[in-house]
Structure 1
């Protein structure tokens, strides 16, 4: 009796004595050595099935496709994850293999199947349906993110990308996928075309996948900002991201009935030095609002750290003069504008209970 794949219609030899009935789709067609052993298939029989002209093929070390035809993009993706997520060689064979389900009750992949591995780079962006990324079938090799300590090498359709600290994976149709910002950084690391880099970064922001500062922070950690094609794209990304955030800020003030403020002004002590610019200012309440578009984190002694210190010094100086400074991030404005409007309204109402602020001159910026 033969088994027929419900997705592609390939015919595969039966696996006895264990049944593959609990597996579905690609997980029935792509199995690791350990999974085959779980189902009663010895390494000798696996090798025999993969001989020239045989019904199976070895796609990656320890990973097999149970049909002779070209692997689909879904099969290559699953194979790359199985290869990178397999137990370390030195531990394999010391722990008896136990039959297990490869699909959790919620339909997602069982973490034991892939270990801590996740898809990243262009393959991940294809799964996020980025229009600027190639279709998954055209992505080769597939980038898989693993812990830095894993002893694996890139081979075949799997390219190993190591991480000092793994991010929390997102689940897309049961596939563990790196967050958009990490996938972008890993994709940009191997791309030389500035137009493609710019298109991917721009789509991440315009598509609402993540904020510009988060993307830039990940690029900083990956040490990619020194590359000309990345630096140019980031300048455009930050400018566009700030324009989008300013539009949301304007809408928040209008839609939630906040008092009319002064927009984009410079504060200065009368006859004295400038205090810096702010995005919004309510002079009667002495409340200033700034969009905090700084990258999260950064390298010590980097330009971002210097910028961070400058932000802190300006805020401290203004607050010593009795001016309340409210910082809002673009992410908070996008996800919870009503909550941010409440924060601003609370600061405005609290002005009546504070001592009068120092007089400052307000100039257009």
Structure 2
């Protein structure tokens, strides 16, 4: 038997004339892919000359046609530039079209303003208006921002969402990356509020990402977060009202403050059923920077109320959004169990 040729990263897959590549499904190719197809660096440079049939959009990324690139082509070019090249025959973490070789897009995803636009967040700018597109990569990658690609690094990549065939960072992470590059309070407040109002993410997730990015020391971000918290609180209360009415729960008294007769306040509650001594409190502690202190206050309040025989049900905005029927069952169960408990101590119920 003769020697079996060893296939290397630069071995041509099947030599193809440059003009044949343009008729294929891929209009964007890396320089490494072109070499694998048998196109030399000199041929690529010749085709990418001013007025030529090709153009180099980013270092090592070639668009096989003249004219301005579309928004989708810019997005894919940025991903091709940022993604690590796979050897032929390698199995990608996120399979895509082709022969199994090419860029491994599990190591790059669109983030920042472009990602918010892809997610459909109101107030995010249209893709053609963006001079740069943020792309999130692992911190250890040796890449520099170039052309329309702005590199954003992270210690751990979040799970990407696929939007129009493009891997995109989750909304909360994309918001943090977008806010990092904004200095005008207006756009920051608008993006945060619209992301929550549009149901794209919860305020708690946004604040966690802003804190992780160390952006909560910026005054204009802190002001925007206050608006975000108010918006999230209003949405959570609306979901609570809807849950009570849509799932046939008895009407409670809303937004009350409980006190011992002639004594101090026992804390505010979002809903209270006096006859059953059942209370609902919306858990918004993740919206604040002092989570531990706020949680300690929640726990102390719950302990005081349960010591008086009052059942406290904590509901999160996210659970009210994602599974309101289950939350209604939790509250109904607490109301039905009231008959099996000792009567609660007397408390004064005041509007909050």
TM-score, normalized by length of structure 1? 0.83
Q: Partners in 2 of 1:358 and 1:183 — Cα distance? A: 49
1:13 alignment partner in structure 2: 19
Q: How does 1:318-337 map to 2 (within 5 A)?
A: 318-337=305-324
Distance 1:41 1:98, change over 3 A: farther
Q: Partners in 1 of 2:97 and 2:301 — Cα distance? A: 50
1:178 alignment partner in structure 2: 169
Q: Partners in 2 of 1:131 and 1:250 — Cα distance? A: 26
1:86 alignment partner in structure 2: 84
Count of residues in correspondence between the two structures = 334
Q: Tell me the secondary structure at the aligned position of residue 182 of structure 1.
A: helix
1:267 alignment partner in structure 2: 258
Distance 1:38 1:326, change over 3 A: farther
Q: In the alignment, which of 177, 202, 213 is matched to residue 204 of structure 2?
A: 213
Q: Partners in 1 of 2:103 and 2:53 — Cα distance? A: 27
Q: In the alignment, which of 55, 58, 65 is matched to residue 56 of structure 2?
A: 58
User: Gaps (5+ residues) in structure 1?
Assistant: 1-11
Distance 1:131 1:247, change over 3 A: closer
CA RMSD of aligned residues (A): 2.8
Q: Tell me the secondary structure at the aligned position of residue 34 of structure 2.
A: helix
TM-score, normalized by length of structure 2? 0.86
Q: Tell me the secondary structure at the aligned position of residue 115 of structure 1.
A: helix
Structure 1 residue 99: Cα displacement: 8.9
2:3 alignment partner in structure 1: none
Q: Tell me the secondary structure at the aligned position of residue 176 of structure 1.
A: strand
User: For each residue in 1:155-207, what CA deviation from the matched residue of structure 2 results, as whole angstroms up to 9, or x when unmatched?
Assistant: 11110111122111110111001111111111111111211112111211221
Distance 1:263 1:156, change over 3 A: same
Contact 1:54 1:68 in 2 (8 A): yes
Q: How does 1:92-111 map to 2 (within 5 A)?
A: 96-98=87-89
Contact 1:57 1:66 in 2 (8 A): yes
User: For each residue in 1:270-298, what CA deviation from the matched residue of structure 2 results, as whole angstroms up to 9, or x when unmatched?
Assistant: 333321111111122221101112327x8
Q: Partners in 2 of 1:110 and 1:243 — Cα distance? A: 49
Contact 1:212 1:241 in 2 (8 A): yes
Q: How does 1:126-141 map to 2 (within 5 A)?
A: 126-141=117-132
1:150 alignment partner in structure 2: 141
1:245 alignment partner in structure 2: 236
User: For each residue in 1:49-106, what CA deviation from the matched residue of structure 2 results, as whole angstroms up to 9, or x when unmatched?
Assistant: 334443222222221111232322222211111111124xxxx8xxx534999x9589
Q: Tell me the secondary structure at the aligned position of residue 245 of structure 2.
A: helix
